[in-house]
């Protein structure tokens, strides 16, 4: 939810899991909530969450907690409070986190206060023998923006001279800064050094983002052959090993091929991915299906969509309605009805808007029997049939004198069990419900899930069970 900027729903889910249910949030869960509130501009609420961790949680805030909060305060123009929070972090015995310092350094640089930024950088270097090179990238970006390339590259050289073993995310940030400001030679040299240093399992010096950055640079320059070579590039240093490309890396280059109308190359890399026992994800299928539809290769789009459904991947409402509309427009009525039936056999059920599009499309194509089957599925699965859709189908069936058949299908009592109610249009199958009061926290508007529901339930936090997520 957070990654898709569905902040209200992210907050609502936290309330449902950790205020209504017998689950206790861990620090990762709290950090996600803090990050969400900060991105919504609700820094004071995020700080309240932080104080709840201090007062009630059986664990301490993590460095990630302070990263989110300092960034949120700085974005809100409250850099002084961010400095105070840094001091509080250090006074509580936490280590000097490079990324917390980096937030503050970036904040002071953006205010034009180079002296304070340097002061914080010096403090970081005193506290840490090894620090994250992303701080140098921050200084480099600032110097470049001032038109002072010499100072920017001096900062870069000073980092390289320290010979830190830098993780891929840090080097990737450096690559992006160098490429952005025209230091192409230095970027390629860094990339080749990263490849040389890649000696798994001991040292992971690159990741798929590394390749994506350089591949995208090649596409940007129109050098497609070089992009393909870069995608497969390995280090030349003895002991270095090839990177085992993941789905994200394939997804990126396939997307670039599709953007350039190179469907044959996209298909080639798609097959290569499948041959490596990697599983295409939703974004990859969407990229291929959209490219096929753009090229008017409807049968290929249908084949890919069918595979996506058979694999069990979720078809979201916006994508499903758009693709089904295209298939119906091209006369794939039977195929659409069959696919939707397959989708309905699994959880979560397709969104009501997908059923709506299919029913209307089948009726418009005079496929009333098939549309009746789809309506029957909607009733069976308690998918809400909107008044607008009911009016539409009554008009379509009334023209041919089949309203009695339609009434039988739309009879809710055929499928209703005791206590079971049809879902309103747009509501997900298993969405929690009720108001989302969370102790004394007040957010701008009650968190709601899609379909307008509120969350409810007890506001206490029972300590019966702990939910542990792996991300940090």
Res 1: pLDDT: 79
pLDDT digits 0-9 by tens, 298-327 = 999 999 999 999 999 999 999 999 999 999
Task: Map tokens 């497609």 to a residue.
Answer: 224
- Alpha-helical (H) ranges within 92-207 are 98-110, 114-127, 134-145, 149-161, 168-180, 184-196
pLDDT digits 0-9 by tens, 78-90 = 999 999 999 999 9
Residue 441 phi/psi, 5° resolution?
Answer: -75, 130
Q: Can 245-313 and 314-413+422-446 be said to share one CATH topology?
A: yes
Q: 389-405 burial, b if ≥16 CB within 10 A, otherwise e?
A: beebbeebbeeeebbee
Instruction: Determine the topology of domain 245-313 in CATH.
Output: 1.25.40
Average pLDDT, integer, range 221-237: 98
pLDDT digits 0-9 by tens, 363-411 = 999 999 999 999 999 999 999 899 999 999 999 999 999 999 999 999 9
pTM: 0.83
Instruction: Determine the topology of domain 314-413+422-446 in CATH.
Output: 1.25.40
Domain boundaries, the chain: 245-313, 314-413+422-446
Task: Kindly tell me the burial class for residue 138, based on how many C-beta atoms sit within 10 Å of its own C-beta (0-12, 13-18, 19 or more).
Answer: buried
Q: Which of 89-103, 187-201, 416-430 has the lowest mean pLDDT?
A: 416-430
Q: Which residues contact 443 (CB under 8 A, 6 or more apart)?
A: 11, 37, 40, 42, 45
Judged against a pLDDT cut of 70, whether residue 16 lies above it is answered with yes
């Amino acid at each position: 939810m957070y990654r898709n900027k569905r902040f209200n729903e992210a907050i609502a889910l936290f309330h449902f899991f950790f205020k209504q249910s017998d689950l206790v949030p861990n620090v990762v869960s709290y950090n996600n909530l803090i990050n969400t509130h900060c991105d919504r501009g609700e820094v004071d609420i995020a700080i309240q969450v932080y104080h709840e961790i201090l007062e009630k949680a059986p664990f301490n805030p993590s460095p990630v907690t302070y990263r989110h909060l300092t960034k949120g305060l700085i974005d809100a123009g409250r850099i002084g409070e961010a400095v105070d929070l840094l001091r509080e972090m250090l006074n509580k015995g936490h280590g000097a986190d490079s990324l917390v310092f980096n937030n503050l350094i970036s904040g002071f640089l953006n205010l034009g206060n180079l002296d304070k930024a340097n002061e914080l950088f010096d403090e970081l270097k005193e506290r840490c023998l090894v620090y994250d090179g992303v701080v140098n990238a921050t200084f480099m970006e600032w110097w470049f923006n001032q038109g002072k390339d010499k100072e920017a590259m001096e900062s870069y050289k000073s980092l390289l001279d320290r010979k830190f073993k830098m993780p891929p995310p840090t080097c990737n940030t450096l690559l992006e800064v160098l490429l952005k400001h025209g230091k192409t030679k230095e970027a390629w040299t860094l990339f080749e050094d990263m490849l040389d240093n890649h000696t798994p399992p001991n040292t992971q010096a690159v990741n798929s983002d590394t390749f994506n950055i350089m591949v995208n640079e090649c596409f940007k320059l129109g050098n497609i052959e070089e992009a393909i070579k870069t995608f497969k590039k390995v280090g030349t240093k003895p002991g270095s090993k090839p990177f085992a490309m993941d789905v994200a890396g394939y997804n990126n280059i396939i997307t670039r091929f599709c953007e350039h109308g190179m469907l044959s190359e996209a298909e080639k890399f798609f097959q290569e991915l499948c041959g490596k026992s990697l599983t295409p994800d939703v974004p990859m299928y969407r990229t291929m299906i959209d490219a096929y539809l753009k090229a008017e290769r409807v049968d290929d789009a249908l084949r890919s969509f069918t595979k996506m459904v058979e694999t069990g991947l979720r078809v979201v409402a916006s994508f499903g309605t758009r693709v089904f509309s295209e298939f119906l427009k091209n006369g794939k009525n039977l195929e659409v009805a069959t696919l939707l039936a397959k989708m309905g056999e699994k959880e979560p059920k397709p969104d009501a808007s997908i059923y709506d599009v299919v029913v209307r499309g089948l009726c418009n194509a005079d496929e009333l029997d098939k549309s009746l089957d789809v309506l029957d599925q909607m009733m069976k699965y308690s998918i809400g049939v909107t008044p607008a859709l009911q009016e539409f189908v009554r008009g379509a069936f009334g023209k041919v004198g089949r309203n009695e058949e339609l009434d039988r299908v739309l009879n809710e009592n055929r499928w209703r069990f005791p206590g079971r109610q049809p879902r309103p249009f747009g509501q997900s199958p298993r969405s929690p419900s009720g108001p989302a009061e969370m102790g004394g926290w007040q957010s701008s508007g009650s968190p709601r899930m899609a379909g307008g529901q509120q969350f409810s339930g007890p506001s206490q936090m029972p300590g019966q069970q702990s939910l542990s997520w792996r991300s940090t």
